[in-house]
Each structure stands twice: as structure tokens, then as C-alpha cells.
Amino acid sequence: PMVDLGFLLITFFMLATSMAKPQTMEIMMPSKEKVKDDQQNQVKSSRAMTILLGKDNKIYYYFGTTEKGVDPKVEQTTFDPDGIRKILLDRNKEVNKAIDSLKQVKAEKKITAEEYKAKFSEIKGSKKSVVVLIKPSDVSKYDNLVGILDEMNITNIGTYAIVPITGYDTDLVGKTFPDAFTESTQTK
């Protein structure tokens, strides 16, 4: 009888508990439609932000693009809470306010889960959202790339792309931070 009771309890708990569902991050893959080269990389410069991943867990970033021969100002930050997350939240303030109000509406049960998901995606992809170009360097760590992708999700950045770092970027960062992308002798 005790064995039967044991198996009965095991069976009950197996059926009554829910398994932990794995959480994944949604990634939008590019479409297969052909786009003209002159339209491919056009982003409004007021919405553009470029993040460059350097050595020693450092992040270099700038807003906009070169306009009228003037290069954008490059800043340095880290993965600390007052680092890149704060910068992304400040830059994406309007979208985050809209998402917070949408969460409030959902909490009051005024919309369904499907409506919430649709509106959430619409807000994240709006024209007010920041467009981020993530450029990992050869000396950055894979963990840094994963970390910055997590920050994109946490700060509700809807449009971002991982692109190769260019010579222009290394020169631009090198003017202010000369050793940003050079490998130190200690790590060799």
C-alpha cells in the first residue's frame, strides 16, 4: 500500500505541476526581396545610433552620421546599469512611455493578449524608435555581443542590426580612444 501511495503521489505531482517553458528572444530575419543599394542603408540620422564593441568590455557609441563633413562625437561606456542601458532608455524614451502605458492597459485587462502583442510590436517598430547598428570588433568577446542583444530586448529597441565594423568606424573611435580596438600584449 505504501508503494501504491508513493506512485500515486509521484503521478499526481507530475501531472499537476507545469514544466518551465524556455524563453527565447524573437529575431526578425531580413526579407529575401531585392533592395536597391542606394535605399539599403538609409536611416534618418536623428534616429541612428551606432554601438561598437571594443576590448575589455568597453562600448563605444555615437549618434547620427557624418553630416556636412562633421563627424559625430564618440563616447565610451560599459555594461553597468548606468552605462549603455541608461543611454538606450534615454534615447528610446517615447517608445518606452508608450509601452508602459500599453502594459498598464493590459494589466487592467482592457485588451487581450493577442491585441497586446500586436500593439507592442507596432510600438517597438514605430518611426519614433531608435535604429541601432551593432558592430562587434575582432577584440570584443562573444559575451559582449550577447549582452548587447539582451540590452536591445530590455530597452525595447525594435530595430537593430549586427553589421561588420568598418574602417571609418575604427578611425572615428581611434581619434578619441586610440587603443579601443588594439589587442593588448597581456591577452596574447
Q: Is a pLDDT exceeding 80 seen at residue 48? A: yes
- Phi/psi at 33 (nearest 5 deg)? -70, 145
Share of the chain above pLDDT 70, in %: 81
How many H helices and E strands in the chain? 7, 5
* Chain Cα centroid distance, residue 126: 16
* Chain Cα centroid distance, residue 168: 23
Which pLDDT tens digit goes with each residue over 151-182?
988 888 888 889 998 888 888 888 888 887 87
Please indicate, yes or no, whether the overall pTM of this predicted structure exceeds 0.75. no
Residue 107's pLDDT band (cuts 50, 70, 90): confident
Are 84 and 185 in contact by the 8 Å Cβ rule? The answer is no
